[in-house]
Structure 1
Amino acid sequence: MERKLKVYVYREGEKPIFHTPFLRGIYASEGWFMKLMEGNKQFVVKHPRKAHLFYLPFSSRVLRTVMITPESRDRRKLVGFLKTYIDKIARKYPFWNRTNGADHFLAACHDWAPYETRKDLRLSLRALCNADVSKGFILGKDVSLPVTSVRTSQNPLKNLGGKPASERSILAFFAGNMHGKIRPILLQYWENRDPNMKIFGPTFQGIDGKMTYIHHMKTSKYCICPKGYEVHSPRVVEAIFYECVPVIISDNYVPPFFEVLDWETFSVFVAEKDIPSLKDILLSIPEERYLTMQLRVKKVQQHFLWHSKPVKYDIFHMILHSIWFNRLHQLRTR
């Protein structure tokens, strides 16, 4: 990929929906990818006829913010807006029409992105945070975009790392809002039930100033990553960031970079129905296996990090590789 891949970035589209990367918060992945893609000199070409792939640089987060108002929450407006954009691209260039957009790609992190793109962009390569196979995510074409909660855009690697395995005294940790149906069940069974299971609701931040969220991530063996309203959670990448073994509770979730990473070697998948048995499942994991998983979390960590300038094997390269990989898969199987 590094030797061959060339990408054309469309210049069409007005700010802020296009060409405006937002680099903080839980939707930061699409912003960081946009920033690094548009500023890239290794993969990006100025002349579209030299390109293998074509990037559509819009923000699903901003699209939703700009187009949806308290008076009108009709998501069809978002679909119509993107159709107008695609029609403009198709009229101006010959590249969309020759493949119906199959060699075009986007990176969209908002929960609504699968809906926004399911019609006119259905054949395109979609890098989606909401990678839900039950809601139209297509294995072999779509790409699971990691949800990275960036707190400081000036230094996305701030607080990276955690305690060594021998100093992780907490068995399992979760804290968060009660989004969706799974998290209330998690709290029903485990909040204040066991001193080794640090499971908190949205009031967690108010507990003893020193007992911070990051501190718990850095000192827990397992970090619980339950789905919210949708299948994804920023806690998966946060766990890796703080070198805590992720425990993913989301039945239809496709983890990022599964084409090249064996997630079962550095994380635990627990079925939603097995939340009552969560502690038993974790305790059944032999200490030797846990230590191996924790070391592998540290090893794969490099693939989930944003840098101000892309670094080989980092998250920017991994996302682009997944898109390139899926396009090659399409060409081989058609």
Structure 2
Amino acid sequence: MAPKSTSPTATTSSLCSVSSLFFLLSLLCILSISLFFLSNSTTHNHHVPNPSQATSQLPQTSIKVYVADLPRSLNYGLLDKYWYLTHDSRLGSEVDNEIRKTYLTKNLEKYPPFPENPLIKQYSAEYWILGDLMTPVEQSKGSFARRVFEFEEADVVFVPFFATLSAEMQLGGNKGVFRKKDGNEDYERQRMVVDMVKKTEAWKRSGGRDHVFVLTDPVAMWHVREEIAHAVLLVVDFGGWYRLDSKASNGSSDMIQHIQVSLLKDVIVPYTHLLPRLHISENRRRQTLLYFKGAKHRHRGGLVREKLWDLLVNVPGVVMEEGFPNATGKEQSIKGMRTSEFCLHPAGDTPTSCRLFDAVQSLCIPVIVSDNIELPFEGMMDYSEFSVFVAVSDALQPNWLVRHLKSYSEEQKDKFRRNMAQVQSIFEYENGYPGGIGPIPPDGAVNHIWKKVYKKLPMIKEAIIRERRKPPGVSVPLRCHCT
């Protein structure tokens, strides 16, 4: 019997079935292996390439801020008042007097510019922080702070008082009454701010512990500090909080208690630098070893400056200049800092000054001779990577400081400058928009300030809970003297 023949159609159908089955099994195998490695990669790879994926894994990507309701006269209205001044005899005012000539011919803007007067500009943090919060949501996507309009939703309450501008205007207009209350417009504004915020439900729910005040000038809100001691204070250092009046009689003093400020609850913020940034690519050979420009005579902790001056003023390779980077001295300061290897930063009336941040922007290695200094954003950066820290006792030994600075090699100094270039933007407030209303640099000072405040939230919440569980009539003592 002849064997049965297989039709071509049947054979082809059989082969297709086998091929299809093989292909399907192969595909499933490949898919399973791919899913395994993808799952393994997601679990063990810490470097997520997609920034949005990394962000989504964070518990919170912003701090929710409610802006306390204060009249415009306590912030931007103060700027209106400043620009309407017919004159200002304070140092550096010639810059702003030029601005007034054109500014007063126009209608005042809703968000006026901040003074260029260096005595005031160095404390402009209050202006840029509020500008960020006033920026429309659609323009503020790079900000770590997210404004909310119900205080119940907020992590913190920002108090929009230009405390420094208020103090400086009083000092410029009638310094004689600054420490008094009668006839002191600054005191009247301080009083208005505190009275208004203490009446709000937001203050009552926390006792003010979640309220944020900007007090960059050492004398800002001088008369009411005790009443806001529980709040989060944004300060340039703690120097102005230990003021002792040497003229006080009967052994008494007007010392402001140390328990009102602490690294536990407060945030050290940078001064606004007055000199422009020098990019690392623009750096040139530096002829001078050490440079300093400033006032020789200071008070309290600043007495070390006068002693250093006498030790260094005639030393070869060291330049000690009396003055301030106002309109006439700015170019001199730029040249001095950009042509010097090191820039001296001794304590003044307070432990720090804007000089440190001018040095960073000029890529001049800071030499910090200030034993009690507090610095902005520590924990986010290591200042020893681009600064030289010297104990006062060592610096005051004859010839010690110059010998020490000469011991640094060219390689070490270049490394300091490269590290400095990496942090220059962190100390930048300005965003380049009129009135400060617009997107801020994501890596700038304002965002770093809010990130520091964000880190305080667990402590703030704990303090509020502790206060609530106290029986009526029992108060929690101020214990913020720990640093």
**TM-score (normalised: structure 1):** 0.84
2:177 is matched with 72
| Residue type of the alignment partner of 2:129 | F
1:90 is matched with 198
Instruction: Answer yes or no: is 1:170 the counterpart of 2:291.
Output: no
Choose which of 212, 220, 223 in structure 2 pairs with 1:105: 212
Q: 1:132 to 1:210 in 2, by over 3 A?
A: closer
SS of the equivalent of 2:63 reads: coil
Aligned-pair CA distance for 1:66 = 4.7
Q: 1:2 to 1:132 in 2, by over 3 A?
A: farther
Instruction: Answer yes or no: is 1:27 the counterpart of 2:132.
Output: no
Encode CA deviations 1:151-172: one digit per residue, 9 max, x unaligned.
Answer: 7xxxxxx454367666122221
Partners of 2:190 and 2:363 in 1: CA distance: 39
CA contact (8 A) 1:223 1:244 kept: yes
Choose which of 340, 348, 367 in structure 2 pairs with 1:228: 348
Instruction: Answer yes or no: is 1:120 the counterpart of 2:227.
Output: yes
Choose which of 189, 195, 199 in structure 1 pairs with 2:311: 189
SS of the equivalent of 2:450 reads: helix
Encode CA deviations 1:31-73: one digit per residue, 9 max, x unaligned.
Answer: 2223223336341122222211110111222222455524423
Instruction: Answer yes or no: is 1:290 the counterpart of 2:407.
Output: no
Q: 1:176 to 1:87 in 2, by over 3 A?
A: same
Q: Summarize the alignment of residues 1-334 of structure 1 with structure 2, pairs less than 5 Å apart.
A: 3-17=61-75, 20=78, 22-24=114-116, 25-39=121-135, 41=137, 42=140, 43-67=146-170, 69-74=174-179, 81-91=189-199, 93-113=200-220, 115-116=222-223, 118-132=225-239, 135=242, 136=258, 137-150=261-274, 158-161=276-279, 167-180=285-298, 181-194=303-316, 196-202=317-323, 212-276=332-396, 277-306=400-429, 307-308=431-432, 309-331=439-461
Count of equivalent residues: 325
Partners of 1:18 and 1:279 in 2: CA distance: 47
In proportion to residue count, which structure has more helix?
A: 2
Partners of 1:281 and 1:40 in 2: CA distance: 51
| Residue type of the alignment partner of 1:316 | V
Aligned-pair CA distance for 1:263 = 1.1
| Residue type of the alignment partner of 1:266 | F
Aligned-pair CA distance for 1:259 = 2.6
| Residue type of the alignment partner of 2:68 | Y
Q: Percent identity?
A: 23
CA contact (8 A) 2:157 2:211 kept: yes
CA contact (8 A) 1:114 1:128 kept: no
| Residue type of the alignment partner of 2:364 | C
Aligned-pair CA distance for 1:28 = 2.1
Aligned-pair CA distance for 1:117 = 5.4
Partners of 1:255 and 1:296 in 2: CA distance: 17
CA contact (8 A) 2:164 2:217 kept: yes
Aligned-pair CA distance for 1:299 = 0.5
Encode CA deviations 1:11-46: one digit per residue, 9 max, x unaligned.
Answer: 313425566563532222232223223336341122
1:154 is matched with none
Structure 2, unaligned runs of 5 or more: 1-58, 80-113, 141-145, 243-257, 433-438, 467-483
Aligned-pair CA distance for 1:274 = 2.7
CA contact (8 A) 1:126 1:143 kept: yes
CA contact (8 A) 2:280 2:418 kept: no
SS of the equivalent of 1:184 reads: helix
